[in-house]
């Protein structure tokens, strides 16, 4: 089998989605599956849908188009504020989009009218992350303009947390966001269908809060794909964290001489460099590098330690001679490494069904917490 490659266990992705959907449903919260981290691969999107997500969301229109070509007909939202240069494609393939600029919404309305469609608008609100979002004090004004536009319909509001500024949601913050839905309805009239409270970072709040309020949607990508809490990096109880495995091939194994006595220059491209503490260890080179993967996001197997990486090479060190030329090394990945590897054309993606069974749900022992293991 060719290398490097990503082994994708669709069964585990489906089970992760199913577990989260089942745990959030009693709280009145649905799950939108976010596919941006896997470049909209239709097989992975379908695994999320089979796990019970109510729809999909992505930040790249090319990913959405790929899913539509594959026959996926469920609601798909454009998660990033649309670019004016892509308005026509977005109204063609997306049921709704998350927006912050009235000029963009106006263009969406015009494009939707040309297609005899009504495009859904979800207004993103700035709740402290300091990335994208409308100031809460301006929300009523923007909402009033949207409901007057033919071609679009105000479907809801959304927020982001811990994407840029590390702001973690709590009961007070989420209660304030929830109240904004009531405020808009009082000021503008139409019922707010979707109150999208955030992303995978919101799971601890969603599972512990006794009052989710109007929040009825979370946009989950990292938790479904990798089974971890994005803040702590810990595994979420009941979820698989090994649905994705990166496999790289060894192209050289040798004992290297002692480092040179001349000064060593730190180049700008040398992003990972760990000097060895012993010259008796065996070094191997794997055919993968910065061009393919975020090396810092790899979880190395026991007995294999990183030495350094360049654009096309990953150098590792071992205490034995088991890494022979042609052998393979498997890695787990964090979200950054997953996104880079799934978009790398030189890494083959292998989709399979493992027949995995659900992991016992540790959260059942205490429903008030999102159990981490």
Outline where the chain has alpha helix (H): 10-24, 42-50, 61-69, 87-93, 102-114, 139-147, 171-188, 203-208, 222-226, 335-343
Confidence band of 278 (pLDDT split at 50, 70, 90): low
Closest Cα to residue 55, out of 134, 150, 155? 155
Give pLDDT, residue 351. Answer: 98
d(CA 16, CA 264) in angstroms, rounded, equals: 46
Give pLDDT, residue 66. Answer: 98
Number of domains in the chain: 2
d(CA 119, CA 92) in angstroms, rounded, equals: 9
Q: Are 50 and 13 in contact (CB under 8 A)?
A: no
Residues 217 and 250 grouped into a single domain: no
Residues 221 and 253 grouped into a single domain: no
Closest Cα to residue 316, out of 285, 352, 356, 271? 285
Residues 16 and 125 grouped into a single domain: yes
Confidence band of 16 (pLDDT split at 50, 70, 90): very high
Residues 317 and 197 grouped into a single domain: no
What is the domain extent for residue 172? 9-226
253, β-bridge pairs: 284
Task: Kindly report the pTM of this predicted structure.
Answer: 0.92
Residues 193 and 308 grouped into a single domain: no
Average pLDDT, the chain: 91
d(CA 297, CA 316) in angstroms, rounded, equals: 15
Q: What is the CATH number of the domain that holds 134?
A: 3.20.20.10
Q: pLDDT tens for residues 293-340?
A: 999 999 999 999 999 999 999 999 987 767 999 999 999 999 999 999
Q: pLDDT tens for residues 189-242?
A: 889 999 999 999 999 999 998 889 999 999 999 999 999 999 999 999 999 999
d(CA 227, CA 221) in angstroms, rounded, equals: 9
331, β-bridge pairs: 246
Residues 216 and 262 grouped into a single domain: no
d(CA 201, CA 346) in angstroms, rounded, equals: 31
List Cβ<8 Å contacts ≥24 apart for 230-233: 230/162, 230/199, 230/200, 230/201, 230/335, 231/162, 231/168, 231/201, 231/204, 232/372, 233/334
Confidence band of 261 (pLDDT split at 50, 70, 90): low
Q: What is the CATH number of the domain that holds 311?
A: 2.40.30
Q: What are the CA-CA distances from residue 27 to residues 8, 20, 102, 149 (Å)? A: 30, 11, 33, 34
352, β-bridge pairs: 9
Tell me the mean pLDDT in the region 82-107.
98
Task: Average the pLDDT over each of 45-49, 79-83, 162-166 and give the range with the smallest value.
Answer: 162-166
Give pLDDT, residue 1. Answer: 82
% the chain with pLDDT above 90: 82
Higher pLDDT, 18 or 130: 18
Residues 109 and 257 grouped into a single domain: no
């Amino acid at each position: 089998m060719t290398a490097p490659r990503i082994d994708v266990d669709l069964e585990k992705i489906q089970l992760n989605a199913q577990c989260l959907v089942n745990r959030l449903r009693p709280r009145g919260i649905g799950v939108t599956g976010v596919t941006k981290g896997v470049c909209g691969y239709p097989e992975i999107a379908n695994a999320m849908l089979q796990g019970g997500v109510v729809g999909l969301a992505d930040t790249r229109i090319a990913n959405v188009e790929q899913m539509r070509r594959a026959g996926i007909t469920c609601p798909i939202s454009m998660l990033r504020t649309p670019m004016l240069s892509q308005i026509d494609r977005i109204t063609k393939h997306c049921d709704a989009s998350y927006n912050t600029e009235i000029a963009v919404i106006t263009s969406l309305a015009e494009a939707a009218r040309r297609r005899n469609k009504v495009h859904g608008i979800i207004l993103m609100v700035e709740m402290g992350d300091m990335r994208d979002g409308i100031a809460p004090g301006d929300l009523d004004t923007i909402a009033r303009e949207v409901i007057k536009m033919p071609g679009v319909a105000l479907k809801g509001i959304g927020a982001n947390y811990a994407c840029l500024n590390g702001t973690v949601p709590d009961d007070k913050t989420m209660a304030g966001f929830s109240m904004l839905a009531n405020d808009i309805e009082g000021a503008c009239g139409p019922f707010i269908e979707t109150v999208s409270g955030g992303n995978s970072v919101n799971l601890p709040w969603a599972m512990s809060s006794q009052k989710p309020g109007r929040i009825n949607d979370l946009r989950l990508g990292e938790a479904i794909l990798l089974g971890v809490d994005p803040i702590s990096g810990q595994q979420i109880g009941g979820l698989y964290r090994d649905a994705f495995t990166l496999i790289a091939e060894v192209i050289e194994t040798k004992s290297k001489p002692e480092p040179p006595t001349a000064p060593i220059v730190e180049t700008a491209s040398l992003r990972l460099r760990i000097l060895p503490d012993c010259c008796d260890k065996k070094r191997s080179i794997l055919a993968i590098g910065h061009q393919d993967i975020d090396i810092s996001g790899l979880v190395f197997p026991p007995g294999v330690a990183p030495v350094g990486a360049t654009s096309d090479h990953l150098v590792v060190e071992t205490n034995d001679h088991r890494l022979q030329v042609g052998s393979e090394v498997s890695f787990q990945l964090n979200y950054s490494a997953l996104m880079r590897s799934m978009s790398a054309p030189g890494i083959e993606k292998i989709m399979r069904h493992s027949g995995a069974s659900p992991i016992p749900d540790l959260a059942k022992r205490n429903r008030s917490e999102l159990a981490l293991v």
